[in-house]
Amino acid sequence: MSKERVGHSRRTYGSIGLAGGVAIWLAQPFLGPALLHAEAPPAPSETAQTEFRPPNVSTQTVRKDQRFLQKTVTALAWPFRPVKDFSDAAFEGLFRLFPSGQNLPSHLKNKRHWDYPWPFHRIPRGWTTFRWGKPKMLLGNQVSQEEGSPKPIGEPGSFQFSRYPDLPIPLSWLPLYLAVTTSGGTHFRLGARWDDVDAYTQFPSVAIKHLEKKRSKDAPPHQQ
Does residue 131 register a pLDDT over 70?
Answer: yes
pLDDT of residue 43: 58
Burial of 104 (0-12, 13-18, 19+ CB in 10 A): buried
Q: Tell me if residue 73 falls in helix, strand or coil.
A: helix
Regarding predicted confidence, which is higher, 166 or 37?
166
Residue 120 banded pLDDT, cuts 50, 70, 90: confident
Is the pTM of the predicted complex or chain greater than 0.85?
A: no
Residue 36 banded pLDDT, cuts 50, 70, 90: very low
Q: pLDDT tens, 81-112? A: 555 554 555 556 566 678 888 888 888 888 88
The candidate with the shortest Cα–Cα distance to 109, out of 124, 95, 99, is 124
What is the rounded distance in angstroms from the CA atom of residue 63 to the CA atom of residue 75? 18
User: CB neighbours of 183 closer than 8 A, spacing ≥ 6?
Assistant: 156, 157
H or E element: which one contains 162? strand 158-163
CA end-to-end distance (rounded Å), the chain? 149
pLDDT of residue 168: 84
Neighbours of 124 (CB within 10 A): 15
- Return the CA Rg of the chain: 45
What's the chain's average pLDDT? 74
Name the percent of the chain lying above pLDDT 90: 27
Q: pLDDT tens, 157-208? A: 999 999 999 888 888 999 999 999 999 999 999 999 999 888 899 999 998 9
Handedness of CA 19, 25, 29, 32 (dihedral sign): positive
